[in-house]
Structure 1
Amino acid sequence: DFLLDEMVWTSTDFNAERQWKLDLAAKVSKLISVYWESRVAKRQLCDSEDSTACQSVARQMGTMVENFWDEASYVWSPRQKGEEDESSDTSDRSFSLVNRGSVTTSKSGPGVSVAPETE
């Protein structure tokens, strides 16, 4: 009789422990799932922020290039009328350097210089 009572108690204890472990495993798996979902969402947010940052950098670079060429058009200009009207050399109708020295511009940054071409 004592042995049967012990077997019933052991069976009940094993079933309760098994149910406790299943509940705990369900809670842990739910926590892991939530963690990975938040990590994926965070990565997607970072990717979109990186994309926005890249677009911002590209926009700034485009503006800098545009400013450079705008300033370069001031440095390189067609020959002014009357400068060398007596020479009728058609091969020299291209652009001439207005200022023969080194030019540093404020928009394109320090250290950017435009030097005359040598022929």
Structure 2
Amino acid sequence: MDINDIAARAAAKIDAARDAKVNAVKTAAASGVELAEAAQLLAAAEQKYAKDYQAALRADWTESDLRGFGLDAPTKKAGGRPRGTKAARQTKANDDASREKEMIGATSDGE
């Protein structure tokens, strides 16, 4: 057997093994990209569902009604600014009104 033939067969075997490794990484990377894209789509769909579910509740449907239609409560809350409690909003509105009255009183006293 010729030394060059042996070396060529060894190089071919190494090349085939390297190509198999590279292809495995390419396949895993492609799956990783698909997974990331699917996760983004899922997050967007969950957010939309949460908003739509809240809109249904604001349209005077109850959670029990929606469950009866086969709609489960969203696992994640809809985004946005927290509303706070009605009492907290009432207190803030009263505080704002009091400050406004004080300012009006201060300007009329100064004249």
Q: TM-score, normalised by structure 1?
A: 0.51
Deviation at 1:57, TM superposition (A): 1.1
Shift of residue 111, structure 1, vs aligned partner:
5.1
1:32 to partner: Cα distance: 0.9
Distance 2:49 2:57 in 1: 12
Larger radius of gyration: 1
Instruction: Please report how far the alpha carbon of residue 19 of structure 1 lies from its aligned counterpart in structure 2 after TM superposition.
Output: 3.0
Contact 1:104 1:112 in 2 (8 A): yes
Root mean square deviation, CA, Å: 2.8
1:20 equivalent in structure 2:
5
Matching residue within 46, 63, 70 for 1:110: 70
Higher-RCO chain (CA-CA 8 Å, sequence separation at least 6): 2
Comparing both structures, which one devotes a greater share of its residues to helix? 2
Summarize the alignment of residues 87-102 of structure 1 with structure 2, pairs less than 5 Å apart. Answer: 102=64
More strand by share: 1
Moved more, 21-30 or 67-76: 67-76
Report deviation, 1:66: 0.7
How many residue pairs get aligned? The number is: 73
Aligned ranges 1:44-55 → 2 under 5 Å: 44-55=29-40
**TM-score under structure 2 normalisation?**
0.54
Report the Cα distance in structure 1 between the residues aligned to 2:59 and 2:7, rounded to whole angstroms: 78
* Distance in 1, Cα, partners of 2:41 & 2:71: 24
Which of 40, 44, 63 pairs up with 1:59? 44
Q: Does 1:68 align with 2:62?
A: no
CA contact (8 A) 1:103 1:112 kept: no
Percent identity among equivalent residues? 12
Offset at residue 44 of structure 1 (A): 0.5
Superposed structure 1 runs of 4+ greater than 6 Å apart: none
